[in-house]
Structures are given as structure tokens and as C-alpha cells.
Structure 1
Amino acid sequence: AGSGPHGRTLERDVIKYFHTTLRSSSLAGKLLDEGWKHKGTYSGTGGMIIREDLRQPGKRLSTIRTTIAKHMHSSLIETAQYTITIS
């Protein structure tokens, strides 16, 4: 319902809708429906969301890859990041 008398839609309602509704390309719309995430940028014409503004959803890591990642992270934390050699 609009903001005019008896719920009529006024020009200001249309303008408000235009400025508050996200617009996306047809490809970006399909990708959003498939679970892709919006980065928060609006690179398309007139602030439209396009493919470049989306990022692919992450995939779950296998158990072995999770274990490897944990060991690599702990190794990074526990070892010196640089060494100084004086000769």
C-alpha cells in the first residue's frame, strides 16, 4: 500500500522503492539464489550488483585438510617468522 490517500501509490513511494531496493543483474540474481555471498560492493550501472560483486560460497574441508590446516597454523604461531644471522 502506498502512502497516499486510501493507500494510493504516490511518486515519492516509487522513488523511495527505487532507492531502497537492491538491483542485480540476472546472472547475479541466479548466483545469489544459489548461495553466493554479496561482498558489499555495487559495481554495476546505477549501483547494480553484478557477478564481480559476489563471492563463491566456501566448501567444507575434508578431515585430512582440516588437520593439515591446524598443524600448519600451529607451526606458524610457534616458530620465529624471521631470523637474524650475524657473520
Structure 2
Amino acid sequence: MGSMSIWHWLIVLVVVIAVFGTKKLRNVGGDLGAAVKGFKDGMRDGGTGSTETPPQQVANANKATDPNTVDVDAKHRS
């Protein structure tokens, strides 16, 4: 009861394949691998000083030049 045998894992695998299908599981596996690779690349490149502006700052600079944007200061309630 406390340990999971190979038969338990095979039943779980069959149920997961029946629910999600093999194509979706393949896509999830590829997406997970790409995410791990991107994380590793980010950690490796994170130690070096980057001269580029982060994309978030570029997006904020673009919003400031948009004539439809209203710039306001938020006030906190006491």
C-alpha cells in the first residue's frame, strides 16, 4: 500500500496517455526542454554585464511617446 509498483506506474501512464494523447505529451516535453535550455542560457549569460536595455524598459519608453497614454501619479490611502 505504501510503495508504488511497476503496475501502478503503468496504469498511471496509460491513463495519462488516454487523457492527453501522445502528440500533446510530445509537445509538452519539447516545451519543457526548451524552457530548461532557456533557463540555463539565462543563468550563464546573467553573470556577464549586458549593455542592452531590457525589453521591459524599451516597452515603457514606447508607451511614454504614445499620445494615447495618460501619465498619472497614484496616491496611497492612509
TM-score > 0.5 by shorter chain: no
Query: Relative contact order, CA 8 A, sep 6+: which one is greater?
Result: 1
Q: Greater strand share, 1 or 2? A: 1
More helix by share: 2
Return the TM-score normalized by structure 1. 0.30
The TM-score with structure 2 as length reference comes to: 0.32
